[in-house]
Amino acid sequence: MMTLRPARTCALPLILLAPLGACNQQSQDPPPTTETRAAPPGPASRPSPPSLPPTQPPPPHIGPEPEPSPPVARLPLADGLIRAQWRKAENRARCAPLHFTDTAGADGTPRPARFSGGWAVAWDQPGRRSAFGLAGTSLLPMDDKPASEHRARLAGQWPLFRDLEQLPRPAFAGYGIEGAQPYPAGNPDGHGLNSLAYVRVGGQTCTYNVWSRLGRAHLESLLENLAPLP
């Protein structure tokens, strides 16, 4: 009696279905896509500073101040007049210009005054011409004598006498009322009178005149403020 083997029909379909299933699975997968990857982060960078507006050049009047110019030395009006008059004078080589460093509180308008052979400047006030002034007088033969003789002469001629230590020595003055007169007992300050001084200065030949119609005290202050003109 012949033995029958069981049919293997089930195995075949399984074998055949497996590749078919695999094919179906592959066909059903979505098509590959291109994946974009971000670049790996680099080192941290600092934020850029905010941009500033462009600078404009300053206008000509803005900016550092220029260095101040050195002051220009200007002679006062009276000093300029004295120098100008002296330069024209016949006695200029032997009668150096003097000036007042202070007019002792007296105001006035300086002007050239006429002294034959010499130089002079007078100050005018309203209603009072030649209120005070200064002159380098013309040369006389006696001007060449020694200072000691001039000292004796002025001390004997004038009622008042003083040394002027601020001037080149020997320097001195004899003074009083014009004409070498003493101050009146009733008017010892000489108010309204013309006070006059004769002045000698070391190294100079001429005799200087200083006068004031503002009183004795004003004349004495002018003498104290008399100095060589720089």
Q: Which two tokens stand for residue 72?
A: 């220009």
Structural domain contains residue 212: yes
Q: How far apart are alpha carbons 204 and 84 in whole angstroms?
A: 19
pLDDT in tens, 93-109: 999 999 999 999 999 99
Per-position DSSP letters for 75-93, written without gaps between them: --HHHHHHHHHHHH-TTGG
Predicted confidence at residue 182, as pLDDT, reads: 98
Rg of the chain over all Cα atoms, to the nearest angstrom: 57
The pLDDT value given to residue 76: 86
Within-domain flag for 67: no
Report yes or no on 70 lying in a domain: no
Tokens encoding 123: 């100050």
- Predicted structure pTM score: 0.68
Q: Give me the domain span that covers residue 110.
A: 77-228
Give CA separation, 80 vs 36, 124, 133, in Å.
Answer: 98, 16, 14
The per-residue pLDDT for range 33-45, each reduced to its tens digit, is 444 444 444 444 5
Half-sphere exposure of 102 (CA within 13 A, CB side): 7
Residue 107 lies in a domain: yes
Tally of domains in the chain: 1
Q: Torsions phi, psi of 125, nearest 5?
A: -120, 160
pLDDT at 39: 44
For residue 157, tell me if it sits in a domain.
yes
The CATH number covering residue 165 comes to 3.40.1000
Q: Is residue 39 part of a domain?
A: no
What local confidence, expressed as pLDDT, does residue 6 receive? Answer: 44
**Residue 82 is assigned to a structural domain of this protein:** yes
Residue 178 confidence (pLDDT): 97
User: Does residue 42 lie within any of the structural domains?
Assistant: no
Which segments in the chain show pLDDT lower than 50? 1-44, 61-63, 69-74
